[in-house]
Amino acid sequence: MTTFSDLPDAAEAAGAAEALEHFPFDDGHGIEVNERFRELRQRKGLLRVQLAYGEPAWLVTRYADARLVLGDPRFSRAMSVGRDFPRQEEATDVAGLMTLDGPEHTRQRKLLVQALSKSRMEAQRPRVHATADGLLSSAMNAGPGMDIVADYAQQMGMLSFCDLLGVPASDREAFASAGAALLPGSAAVGPEEKMRRFGALRTCIEQLIAERRARPCDDLMSAMIQARDDEDRLTDTEVIDLVFSMLPARFETIVTQIPNCVYVLTRGDRVLWNRLRANPAELPAAVEELMRHNASAGAGMFVRYAREDVNVGGTLVRAGEALTVANESANHDPARFENPDTIDFSRPAGGHLTFGHGAHYCAGAQLGRIDLQEGLRVLLTRTPELTVRDITWRERPHLRGAVTMRVTWQGDPE
């Protein structure tokens, strides 16, 4: 319970409010954690920042503060709807499960989690592996290298998502087109073209819902339609919104994280890459540690608003003020992780905030882990000498990673 003695005095709060700094602190190149976060974690209070668009926000950098903001119902995602919320891109259209608060969020998420059962997710593993294996075979037959973003990760993300939903081959181009428009750095896709692509995708989803209502199959779309809590079920509109919410989350997990992990594992003397090749049983732990270590999940993607006055890390955040959590900083907080800048596959699992925390913790986190494990497993097994040759990094993204990453290998295609 917050008491008045916990809160800074009026002069301190006013002084903090006057400090306004542009964020992010760098151009987004690479996946190294900006050194400024180290300083901010050590100082009292939060930093007031200005993103590229929208009103100012409080920047949350410490692990304990991040857990508070992500998990406490006094901070709202729904309050961002209809506001000039802090963001990195000009577009302000937000919708779906990520913009809901309880109890409506709780109701929809419960039904989604029911459809995304552990057994259903684990059943995807051999299919994800086969998809990755097929993509690598095609690339190896085409030449001595590939762009691991466009030729492997992006294709894997879309094919796996369509397979999970049960999307027929004839409709997969609409999913790929819409997914590409959602990627960071897709500014070349104008607003009208984005709307056209999203309209085509909505039509495909509506048709798939109608087909699965008439003839259910063993896929996620059928499971979402059939999910129920007593007599409560998801409406068609809610199913469509959930698909739109899941598309960027699933797409981005693979498109961003696989290249980032390859980059970290193969740089320098390749000790980490060779270790995983020799000890594949460590892959699940390695994926957790790499997701914690790599500065992939940037701040500013999803903001929260204080419903009431709340003390966060020594700063009085007033009702109606926005906050954005720097997950990459919280994941490197030495108050939570010993030697946080060191990659340690033996580190106790769990605790990182890459998939979020609290009510909005990613419902598909386990599937994301499977994607990364199997995508990396195929590369480790079949391209032992894989080498990163050239990288173009994203500019000031929500999620830090490569636009292109050229890799080569040795040996004949298997």
- Asked whether residue 412 carries a pLDDT value surpassing 50, the answer given is no
Phi-psi region of 295 (alpha: psi -120 to 50; beta: other; left: phi over 0): beta
- Asked whether residue 275 carries a pLDDT value surpassing 70, the answer given is yes
Average per-residue pLDDT for the chain: 86
For residue 14, what pLDDT is reported? Answer: 42
Work out the average pLDDT over 195-217. 89
The answer to whether residue 404 sits within a structural domain is yes
93-107, 203-217, 267-281, 349-363: least confident range: 93-107
Tell me which H or E stretch contains 322: strand 322-325
The answer to whether residue 289 sits within a structural domain is yes
For residue 82, what pLDDT is reported? Answer: 86
Q: What is the pLDDT of residues 77-126, one digit of tens each?
A: 999 988 999 988 776 555 677 788 888 888 888 888 888 888 889 999 99
For residue 361, what pLDDT is reported? Answer: 87
Residue 264 sits in which domain range? 4-408
The answer to whether residue 414 sits within a structural domain is no
The answer to whether residue 390 sits within a structural domain is yes
The answer to whether residue 39 sits within a structural domain is yes
For residue 15, what pLDDT is reported? Answer: 42
For residue 84, what pLDDT is reported? Answer: 92
- Asked whether residue 3 carries a pLDDT value surpassing 60, the answer given is no
Work out the average pLDDT over 128-149. 95
- Asked whether residue 254 carries a pLDDT value surpassing 60, the answer given is yes
Environment class of residue 414 by beta-carbon count within 10 Å: exposed (0-12), middle (13-18) or buried (19+)? exposed
Distance separating alpha carbons of residues 332 and 342, to the nearest angstrom? 9
Work out the average pLDDT over 238-259. 83
Distance separating alpha carbons of residues 78 and 80, to the nearest angstrom? 5
> 298 and 24 in contact (C-beta within 8 Å)?
yes
Number of domains comprising the chain: 1
Query: pTM value?
Result: 0.89
Give me the CATH number covering residue 130: 1.10.630.10
For residue 189, what pLDDT is reported? Answer: 64
Confidence category of residue 138, pLDDT binned at 50, 70, 90: very high
Distance separating alpha carbons of residues 62 and 49, to the nearest angstrom? 15
Work out the average pLDDT over 46-67. 95
Distance separating alpha carbons of residues 195 and 19, to the nearest angstrom? 38
120-134, 216-230, 302-316: least confident range: 216-230
Work out the average pLDDT over 139-158. 93
- Asked whether residue 226 carries a pLDDT value surpassing 50, the answer given is yes
The answer to whether residue 25 sits within a structural domain is yes
- Asked whether residue 9 carries a pLDDT value surpassing 80, the answer given is no
The answer to whether residue 53 sits within a structural domain is yes
Neighbours of 192 (CB within 10 A): 8
Distance separating alpha carbons of residues 375 and 280, to the nearest angstrom? 13
For residue 184, what pLDDT is reported? Answer: 52
Distance of CA 165 to the CA centre of its chain: 19
For residue 397, what pLDDT is reported? Answer: 63
For residue 21, what pLDDT is reported? Answer: 93
For residue 92, what pLDDT is reported? Answer: 53
Q: What is the pLDDT of residues 328-361, one digit of tens each?
A: 999 999 999 999 999 999 998 889 999 889 988 8
The answer to whether residue 149 sits within a structural domain is yes
Environment class of residue 69 by beta-carbon count within 10 Å: exposed (0-12), middle (13-18) or buried (19+)? buried
Tell me which H or E stretch contains 389: strand 387-393
